Structure 1
């Protein structure tokens, strides 16, 4: 009975977290956002055994709110859209820094996932962790990247000539590298580490994947499109779990972002 209650509390914290991401992303009434923070603070006092988990969620949402406010100021005061987008992505480092500082305050371990990948682990079909067929993670990644490029290439060459592609190259590399690295560092590195250590890998997998998709609402992606990004977040997370590193996910994420830039989906 006690374990059921504890599990219910942890699931409730995850749902509150997702609700907070959605409310902040939609720039909802500040009263509702404040209410989310008050509920989390109250839970951290009542359920002290889960205080690190709850405070980490609290800090994440607080830093995400700070990011949302700062990106709004960027778009108000800077006209160069490429500069704005790059600075916007750099602001994501606020979230990573806050999570790392929180772990230090609680003297808890946090894994950023920057270690050397294990490329020889295998992904199984159809259920990733088990199934009737398996391939090396390196092979899976090559197939996935080629598949993504195959989807985008016709769009890229339909929308751009060679000069336009050259003009976008520097921005594309800068944006894609910064965005892929920081988003993976947040969702599959620091925050995934906290949730998996405090609850379970499955819990971290579900809530980071959903929140990863939904947080794109803040940059203007419609709700259902942002929600669909959660599928990508799920695959990124599985790659990280299998390789024990965020580096392969950063690479995959980088290629997708480059395709999006050249496909006219970023600016």
Structure 2
């Protein structure tokens, strides 16, 4: 009897694990659909998930409603972007305002999570700069360093990689408008993307499936979120890898701050290289 009971418990545990990964996979599907503006299919998938919630655990219900909130928030963001385009502002200002629209899915998701009496993020606190992180697998690897040293190494590697693409013509540092664009775009985009992806999404994934699965799938989602900007799948793969390390740094340090600083620096390099264009 005891062995049969243990067997049943093992089977149930495996089924639960499978369901968790199915939900994470569906999130990836939803990301691809929303980035390609396939909202009818997106909400069909979400409707199926709502029906599934009737027999699901509380953690699953929080996750599903958070994904619904993200999809609705992203849809409103797209309409907001259309309204912004009609404003009599230069393109650079419109780009910054567009990034500010990330507040919409952030607010939608935070509101839903609050309704379930859950913390919207585990990582709004001071970082542990001496916490250890390994390369290349975050928890394991051939080299382990502190978060502080890891960031310094990441800055150096990012700078070296971008050097061939940084043009002097893109570095009009005497133009106040250019400097303001670099600062405000990098701050707004860096902070809001980290709040959304490492603050809210990563937390929900950790609660659903654990830290390692959360790091992987939140990174993939972050990469896919750049499809809407016209980046190729190959480039989005690069963003996904970056998202995995942003998530790893966040979890290991226990804070959003290291990833925000890294993201800010990376945005500056993208502007200087022309990958994010400055159009005054």
Contact 2:20/2:208 (CA < 8 Å) preserved in 1? no
Correspondence 1:207 to 2:217:
yes
Compute the RMSD of aligned alpha carbons.
2.1
1:45 correspondence with 2:51: no
> Separation in 1 of the partners of 2:21 and 2:264?
32
Cα distance in 1 for partners of 2:85, 2:98 equals 9
Structure 1 residues 171, 41: closer, same or farther in 2, change over 3 A?
A: same
Q: For residues 164 and 220 of structure 1, what CA distance do their matches in structure 2 show?
A: 30
What is the CA distance between 1:165 and its match in structure 2? Answer: 6.2
Trace 1:2-21 onto structure 2 (pairs within 5 A). Answer: 2-21=12-31
Q: For this pair of structures, how many residues does the alignment match?
A: 266
Q: How does 1:68-83 map to 2 (within 5 A)?
A: 68-75=78-85, 80-83=90-93
Larger radius of gyration: 2
- Uncovered stretches (5+) of structure 1, i.e. residues with no partner: none
SS in 1 for 2:120: coil
CA shift at 1:37, angstroms? Answer: 2.3
Matches within 5 A, 1:1-267: 1-28=11-38, 30-49=39-58, 50-75=60-85, 80-111=90-121, 113-160=123-170, 162=172, 167-267=177-277
Q: 1:51 to 1:171 in 2, by over 3 A?
A: same
* Equivalent-residue separation in structure 1 for 2:191 and 2:180 (angstroms): 17
- Give the SS at the match of 1:108: coil
Change (3 A) 1:158 1:57: same
Gaps of 5+ in 2: 1-10
Q: State the TM-score, normalizing by the size of structure 2.
A: 0.87
TM-score, normalisation: structure 1:
0.91
Write the distance in 1 (CA, Å) between the matches of 2:136 and 2:62. Answer: 36
